[in-house]
Amino acid sequence: MEIITKTFSVTTKGFTDIIDITDHVDKMLRESNLSEGNALVFAPGATAGITTIEYEPGLLKDYPEFFEKLVPSSKQYHHDDTWHDDNGFSHIRASLQGASYTVPFSNRKLLLGTWQQIIFIDFDNRSRKRNVIVQLTGK
């Protein structure tokens, strides 16, 4: 069993910006000597998340709209009273989304469905440069 940990960066717009990172993860896998195992994709930070989605224009609108209904950005949060950064909604959205996602791979290929891409979501209330950690475990 071998473990390889790598990092790459993405630049985001914030406000539930969704970025397809599938190619980054796939490239790291292809550059490794691993043929079978798992790829753990992790977003360090308290206002970002990782998941999979069909990366298409309709869902790129639906997903932010869903989070806006569930956790409105216009509401006052106790976090905002503490830190005065007006991003309490970002923290709640990120905690609901989750900071990591694991994808199995075999024959040096991610075992994603046809319409499934790995996405990074920046829930913060400003643009940022974000790191993404990928940990490949396998043989």
Separation between Cα atoms, residue 103 and residue 52, nearest integer Å: 10
Residue range 39-83, pLDDT digits in tens: 999 999 999 999 999 999 999 999 999 999 999 999 999 999 999
Separation between Cα atoms, residue 94 and residue 90, nearest integer Å: 6
Q: Residue 116 burial by CB count (10 A; 0-12/13-18/19+): exposed, middle or buried?
A: middle
DSSP β-bridge partners for residue 137: 3, 38
Residue range 86-135, pLDDT digits in tens: 999 999 999 999 999 999 999 999 999 999 999 999 999 999 999 999 99
Q: Residue 67 burial by CB count (10 A; 0-12/13-18/19+): exposed, middle or buried?
A: buried
> pTM for this structure?
0.96
Which element (helix H / strand E) includes 39?
Answer: strand 36-42
